[in-house]
Amino acid sequence: MKRFALAGNPNSGKTTLFNALTGSNAYVGNWPGVTVEQRKGVYKKKGVEEVEIVDLPGIYSLSPYTPEEVISRNFILDEKPDCIINIVDASNLERNLYLTTQLLEMDVPVIIALNMMDIIEKRGDKIDTEAIERKLGVQVVPISASRDKGLEDLMQYAIATAHGERKGKTVLENESGEMVKGATKIYEKAGVENPMFHAVKALEKDEIELKIHEDLVKEVLNKYEDHKKPFDELSADGRYNFITKEVSIYDSASRRAQKAKLTGSDKIDKILTHRWLGLPLFFLVLLVVFALTFSEDLFFLNRWFGVEFEHASFAGTMFEGLIWTEEGINSPGVILANFVNAFNGVGDFTEDVAWGGIMVSINSWVEPLKEVPGWDWFPGFVNTIFADGVFAVIGFLPQIAVLFLFFSILEDCGYMARVAFIFDRIFRKMGLSGRALIPMIMGFGCSVPAMINTRTLNTDNERISTIRVIPFFTCGAKAEMLSAIAGVLAINFGLNAVAVSYGFYVGGMFVAVLAVILMHWTTLREKVPPFIMELPSYHFPSPKATAIHLWDKIKHYVEKAATIIVIAALLIWLFTHLSFTQGWIKEAAFEENALEAYHNSVLGQVGYVVSYIFTPVGFGAQTAEGWAYTVATLTGLVAKEVVPGTISVLASGDIEAFVQASGITLGGFFGFITFSLFTIPCFAAIGAAKGELKKGTLWKTICFWLGSGYVMGALVYVTVDYVWSLAITLPLIIGVYVLAYFYNKKKTAQERELEKAKEEIIESL
């Protein structure tokens, strides 16, 4: 089977083309050793040779600056694909063809897919593809990937091209071209494959090239370095001059004239990327997305205007809880989640509904076994597998799918590229690029897709720091936990539940910023690589491409979350039924005195021992039932929505009375909430982080989550209960940041000196 590689700029329609060619035959994973997404698929067409298609990461050049560029470069050089299909956005020839001129310098068959030709035709314009073919020396095929036009011709030409051979060719002319030809001969003499490409990299003083061909690089530089302007600048100027003077002239005259005018996208960008309006508008878009996904009072219509959905024929039926509640009208995401939970038979709103769902049916089948000697444990075991395991994953799936859908649409239409552009200036000062914002914001919905989305970031350090602060953004499960516990604060301590919830949301974002700054100044220091992003024209997303994209992410979530949550739920069930002294705890013991039965279990006893560790956080040995709070935090590591459920079970349903009887202080309860919110988000998130991080880094990240949650919980505890402690803790925190600032400043100065010395050594060579 032949293997083709798809190479092109981001937003050139490369992923859309890949989905159109492979469809359900696609496989998504990670590139070996790195976390950048890898896509492979098989092109199957009747009467056409089967071809494996590899979707290379979207890149602007083969410089390389980012992991994506390194991957693309190494794949072509080392894996030797039979053909490169270079996707070029027909509406932006000048920018897209820069990568093309670099690909042409490799000894590999190349064919150009001139994409988005439907847009060109719609405008009444045309591009002389035959003339471009003559100038570049490779086949050019006009296509529209989003409309499945020209794809069969593309593959037929690509297969024919793959059966031939091709020698690298440079578009550089005059002095630059002569230098490339001379350097190429040096590499040819040494028997190096793809000699022209390596020769160009040697002239550009490429660091990777210096590592693999040090002697040849020295020979090339000794012979061709005597010129005033660095070769990488000469090369860039030469490529753009060729594209402008020799190739883009075959774009229609009306089209070239139109580029000088403001397009529709330009006019929209004057508002959406405005210096002052861009940020508020983004938060407004975000508010709409989250309202449509998670709100139980859509757009606050009930809270602000008293608007409720009522229909007499639906009153008292499942639809009353499905579409609306006393709180207001449900969002589409909540409606879908309610429907799925109703079908499964789980969820509070199904209690008074005749149609109980699958879980009710399962319970009705296994409940009689409680009366069978030796089988009283089985109904609880089955309930754990389905209600706490399988259906827990399925229950969150609708809202996560809706969130994925909205973000996919925003990304595919071109808006997310603008968001990254807006935030890049702010984030760059913290050692991140604008891309890091997207996974952070997704953390408000669910940490799992947020961590998966970090694979689009430029560097390992940027990816690590972003993954570490994602748990500080209150996800849907934490919101459920917070809403339940905020009610306790209102009843037991007289605090405003809305104010507390809002405080934790805003506080989490603030802590995330502080954490990123501290990491950037200390353990994850790096020079932020150049962030080049093409702002594509706004367009309607392809339904097919969006559906495939959505399916990939949902499948990834289910594979990660289902396995971990089901196993964790079973382990919790097991260790709450085992006792160090009593052996197996029967179900009757839980029905008689649940608190005592849980306390005697292995999990309860472990919680009792571990509770002493949480004394500095306020809910340890100093409270009468510190073990119960500890057990809740331990089960919360599995999934945050389990925390209020665990407390409710241990309190026999009366959480307020339990909190009062336990003697926990306001500071201690805040410490309990803080630790639960800011520590490990859930086992599913650990599974997602495992797929994005190396093993050693994963363990460090888990320790970071545990440590940061513990420290913040302790700080909140002592601050609330002992306000005078701020006179000690505040100067200590400021001192840490001052030391980190000067440490970073000193290291930066040392790195500049090393860089200067390195340049001097290279110059001397």
CATH 3.40.50.300, the chain: domain bounds: 2-162
DSSP string, 535-558: -PPP-PPPHHHHHHHHHHHHHHHH
pLDDT-based confidence at residue 764 (cuts at 50, 70, 90): confident
Average pLDDT score over residue span 337-355:
61
Confidence grade of residue 36 (pLDDT, cut at 50, 70, 90): low
Tell me what pLDDT residue 54 has: 93
Which pLDDT value is given to residue 542? 75
Distance from the Cα of residue 363 to its chain's centroid: 38
Average pLDDT on 524-543 reads 73
Given a contact cutoff of 8 angstroms between Cβ atoms, the answer to whether 56 and 6 are in contact is yes
Which of helix, strand or coil describes residue 667?
A: helix
H-assigned helices in 139-277? 151-162, 174-189, 195-203, 207-212, 214-224, 231-242, 253-259, 264-272
Show the tokens assigned to 352.
């008074």
State residue 259's pLDDT score. Answer: 57
Candidate ranges 19-28, 557-566, 698-707; pick with highest mean pLDDT: 698-707
Q: For residue 40, what is the enclosing H or E element?
A: strand 37-45
At 452-468, the pLDDT tens digits run: 778 767 778 888 999 99
pLDDT digits (tens, 9 = 90+) for 114-159: 998 888 887 778 888 999 999 999 999 999 988 889 999 999 999 9
Whether 679 shows a pLDDT value over 90: the answer reads yes
- Which of 501 and 332 is assigned the larger pLDDT? 332
Tell me the pLDDT band of 639, cut-offs 50, 70 and 90.
Answer: confident
Would you say residue 223 has pLDDT above 70?
Answer: yes
Dihedral Cα 575, 576, 580, 583, nearest 10 deg: -100
**Which pLDDT band, with edges at 50, 70 and 90, does 29 fall under?**
low
Among 335-344, 381-390, 735-744, 748-757, which range has the highest average pLDDT?
Answer: 735-744
Structure tokens given for 714? 């302790």
Distance CA 555, CA 557 (A): 5
2-162: CATH number: 3.40.50.300
Cis peptide before 64 (omega within 30 of 0): yes
Convert the pLDDT of each residue in 652-667 to its tens digit: 667 788 888 888 999 9
Residue 754 has pLDDT above 90, yes or no: no
Of residues 204, 165, 211, the one with CA closest to residue 183: 204
User: Residue 187 contacts by C-beta under 8 Å, 6 or more apart in sequence?
Assistant: 195, 196, 198, 199, 202, 213, 216
Higher pLDDT, 389 or 139: 139
The pLDDT of residue 150 is 92
Q: Fill in the DSSP letter of residue 143.
A: -
Lowest mean pLDDT among 107-111, 312-316, 705-709: 312-316
Residue 352's pLDDT is what? 44
Q: Does residue 276 or residue 424 have the better pLDDT?
A: 276
Q: For 222-232, what is the mean pLDDT?
A: 76
Q: What is the mean pLDDT of residues 101-121?
A: 92
Residue 335 and residue 401 in contact, taking contact as beta carbons nearer than 8 Å: no
| Pairwise pLDDT comparison (348 vs 632), residue with the higher score | 632
Query: What value does the mean pLDDT of the chain take?
Result: 82
